[in-house]
Amino acid sequence: MPAVCPSLMSADPLRFGEQVPALLDAGACVFHVDVMDGRFVPNLMMGTEITRGIAGLVRERGGRVDVHLMVERPGDAIGWFAPHADMISVHVEADPHPHQLLGQIRAAGCLAGIAINPGTPLEVVMPLAERLDYVNCMGVNPGFSGQSFIPGTLARLRALRDMLPTTVALQVDGGIGPANAADARACGADLLVSASAIFGAPDPVAAYADLVERVAAA
């Protein structure tokens, strides 16, 4: 079952307690938390305590928390976030030992994901396949929400889907909205992350529901 995953990067931090339950009521089950260190990406956000708070809201209703670590050498951060996460992705560009990190994520009890920037060759995922639960294929260069989707991402999703075992889920993150959600799904994306298209809309629940409908029809 494909899922639209609200990315809390664009939510109003003073209204998490209202916006997260409203999206859970609307059927959202995977919430994406972006962690940035100001080094791997030029932005800083989302620490362990806010993630703990979000996890409380999400998990009491059976939802899952997906932590996307955009940090250099994320080894230590895996341990910090794992208690508040069900899925964790690390960037293949951020550490020389991604294979080891994926094992560390699973050992911490989370599903393990590898994230790849738009300029990274797709083949890097193949030697990691045995330790992978999902691949996060970036649709933008990470760091900020609200950027335009890079059109070549669709071909990258298709190629990844062909390349990867069916046991590995495909996530797309960045620039996903009403104009391209169905295309991304048709190209093989199972988990469609969206921040600004949901939280930048006047009614985030309606915007979420609209994306779900487009993905289901794809």
Least gap, CB of 199 to ligand DX5 (angstroms): 8
Does 176 bind ligand DX5 (CB under 6 A)? Our answer is yes
Q: Which of 3, 34, 131, 214 binds ligand DX5 (CB under 6 A)?
A: 34
Does 146 bind ligand DX5 (CB under 6 A)? Our answer is yes
Interaction partner, residue 6 (Zn ion, ligand DX5, none; CB < 5-8 Å by kind) = none
Does 153 bind ligand DX5 (CB under 6 A)? Our answer is no
Q: By C-alpha distance, which of 94, 80, 79, 100 is closest to 136?
A: 94
Least gap, CB of 130 to ligand DX5 (angstroms): 25
Least gap, CB of 97 to Zn ion (angstroms): 21
List the catalytic residue out of 66, 173, 183, 190: 173
| SS3 assignment, position 41 | coil
Contact 124, 164 (CB under 8 A): no
The mark string for 73-112 relative to ligand DX5 (x by CB under 6 A, - otherwise) is: ----------------------------------------
Does 178 bind ligand DX5 (CB under 6 A)? Our answer is no
- Could you tell me the strand order of the sheet in which 44-45 lies? 3-6, 191-194, 169-173, 134-138, 111-116, 87-91, 64-70, 30-37, 44-45
Q: By C-alpha distance, which of 43, 85, 88, 35 is closest to 65?
A: 85
CA dihedral sign, ordered 112, 89, 196, 189? negative
173 is catalytic: yes
Active site members:
34, 173
